[in-house]
Amino acid sequence: MPKRKPVVLIADKLSQSTVEILGSDVEVRWVDGTDRDALLEAIPEADALLVRSATKVDKEILDAAANLQIVGRAGVGLDNVDVETATEKGIMVANAPTSNIHSACEHALALLLATARQIPAADKTLRDGEWKRSKFKGVEIYGKVIGIVGFGHIGQLFAERIAAFGVDEILAYDPYANPARAAQLGVELVPIRDLMERSDFVTIHLPKTPETERMFDRDLLSSAKQGQIIINAARGGLVDEQALADAINEGRIRGAGFDVYATEPCTDSPLFSLPETVVTPHLGASTFEAQDRAGSDVADSVLMALAGDLVPDAVNVPGGRPSQEVSSWLNLARKLGLIASAVLEKAPSTVEIVARGEISHENIEPLGLSALRGIFSRVVDEDVSFVNVSRIAEERNVTVSTYAEPQAQSYRSTLEVTVIAADGSKYSAKGALSGIDKEERIITLGRRPLDLHATGKNLILRYQDHPGAIGKAGSRLGAAGINILAAAMSIDRDSSAATLVLRVDGDVAQETLEDCAQALKATAVKIDLGK
């Protein structure tokens, strides 16, 4: 029978490009996510669920999702997804946090320019049949000081783009900002009150948290530089709108450009009655490109999750977003964990991961998670994902430690996974990525050096070396119709103990494996490393 294709259930309207990215290796199904009964009927067969904001993915839906591996939210917010329940069930939740950053940045720039030149108010006079050229006197951006509050993705994009206007200085406030990145962009990091006192224009790019809510209160606004213009295209509720309106009326603040409000939908903000303000109904992400990109980004995440890979945009995976370099090692880490645990053949108590060489400078915690996935894939009944593997380890009292060492031998970087049982017995597997294509290789097993591609179906035999040993294994595999594709062997320098790894072209029956083990007086395991 042909292998069942994973089912991707799309519950909200998404672009055609999203479907095209998903490709032909999955079965795409559609359901109206707002139709509760229809969603509950469709979700049990879904391996992945794609939603926007209209579909509510709550505990009831997740409880009914027998096969679900990932919920992909085509957008930034996750208010409609029960992330806590998904995490408990080992279901990955991913959004598209960078899909709208260009649109949001451009909208903030548009608000700044429109406010500086009073474009909407001037536009209205013409539409009312009046020519009031002398009434409007704008201000230039050239030669001014720009203050950016929040120096994440969008704040940095804004700094790059506003610099082209020939501004005098760019200031930024963000307690978590990277000083090196700020210096690279020519941005001075300063305290918030210093920024308010020095900036001619202030643009806000903060998330809404208990710490940032109403951050721009009457007190902070009172420290604003005379004639300042404030832009908020980030989140509503960061600014006390009444206090800002009062400051504009008093003449301290020249104007404001706002796209977001404390409560939405909003039609009665005190900012709406002022000619000095430019206001829009939360349009920051409302571009064709941002909407299309959100679907495309989350489609990529779904395919990664279905392939068993760590999804960079997952919100409920510990360890944070892995770097590109670390991501390339994740699959090898899983394979090394699988090998080490399979050969040890005892319940793990401790797992040690050592990254050596260039990779040691990265955040290697995700490699520990990936190694655990390989270890537990042989010993637990449930599907092991990046989401639930930490819980599985905790439930089984398995401790994990990651270590970084700057020097690696023979390779630019190596990764070693050691599985230790409660009685102190242990087994290690070390690997590396080789060449431009970063081929996954096994370079050490049980501290015995060898060299073999980490792929395919493999037999690992450990025995006391003696004449004809390899021939005995080969003849028995041949008799069973199994061809040997590759082999690697290592013998201890101080003893006759040997490790033999055979990559074969088919499934080896347990009876054949036991026959080989008996002939060599060996311990033998078979491991499928896949691709």
Report the CATH number of the 456-531 domain: 3.30.70.260
Average pLDDT over residues 120-146: 94
**CA 239 to chain CA centroid, nearest Å:** 30
What is the distance between the alpha carbons of residues 182 and 475, in angstroms, rounded to a whole number? 65
Written as six digits, the tokens of 520 are: 């060599």
- Residue 340: is it exposed, middle or buried by C-beta count within 10 angstroms (0-12/13-18/19+)? buried
Active-site residue identified among 282, 378, 447, 453:
282
pLDDT band, residue 113 (cuts 50/70/90): very high
- Residue 518 · residue 499 · CB < 8 Å: no
- Rounded Cα–Cα distance for residues 531 and 528 (Å): 9
pTM of the model: 0.63
Q: How far apart are the first and last CA of the chain?
A: 21
Label residue 468 exposed, middle or buried (CB < 10 Å: 0-12, 13-18, 19+).
exposed
158 vs 102: CA distance, rounded Å: 9
Concerning whether 264 is annotated as a catalytic residue, the answer is yes
**What are the sequence ranges of the domains in the chain?**
7-97+290-306, 101-279, 317-454, 456-531
pLDDT of 382 > 80? The answer is: no
Tens digit of each residue's pLDDT (9 = 90 or more) over 260-297: 999 999 999 999 999 999 999 999 988 888 888 888 99
Give the dihedral sign, CA 300/306/308/310: positive
Is position 218 annotated as part of the catalytic site?
no
Catalytic, out of 130, 140, 264, 395: 264
Is a pLDDT exceeding 90 seen at residue 419? yes
Fold entry, domain 101-279: Rossmann fold (3.40.50)
Q: Of the listed 107, 235, 334, 476, which one is catalytic?
A: 235
Residue 181's pLDDT is: 87
**Domain 317-454 sits in which CATH superfamily?**
D-3-phosphoglycerate dehydrogenase; domain 3 (3.30.1330.90)
Note whether 101-279 and 456-531 share their fold.
no
**Tokens read off for 303:** 């395919």
* Cα 250 off chain centre by: 46
What's at 322, amino acid-wise?
A: P
pLDDT in tens, 2-53: 578 999 999 998 888 888 999 999 999 999 999 999 999 999 999 999 998 8
Q: Which residues of 291-315 are buried (b: 16+ CB within 10 A; e: fewer)?
A: bbbbbbbbbbbbbbbbebbbbbbbb
Catalytic (active site) residue 282:
yes
Find residue 256's DSSP bridge partners: 230, 277
Q: Are 326 and 362 in contact (CB under 8 A)?
A: yes
d(CA 186, CA 286): 30
Q: Pairing relation of β-strands 497-504 and 457-464?
A: antiparallel
For the domain covering 7-97+290-306, report its CATH number: 3.40.50.720
The residue type at 200: D
- Residue 138 has what pLDDT? 94
Q: Are strands 27-30 and 7-10 parallel, antiparallel or unpaired?
A: parallel
- 47-81, pLDDT tens digit by residue? 999 998 889 999 999 999 999 999 999 887 787 89
Q: How many Cα atoms are found within 13 Å in the side-chain-facing hemisphere of 377?
A: 20
By CB atoms closer than 10 A (0-12, 13-18, 19+), residue 389 is buried
pLDDT, tens only, 450-462 = 999 999 999 999 9
How confident is the model over 177-189, as a mean pLDDT? Answer: 91
DSSP state of 81: B
Contact yes or no for 271/265 (Cβ under 8 A): no
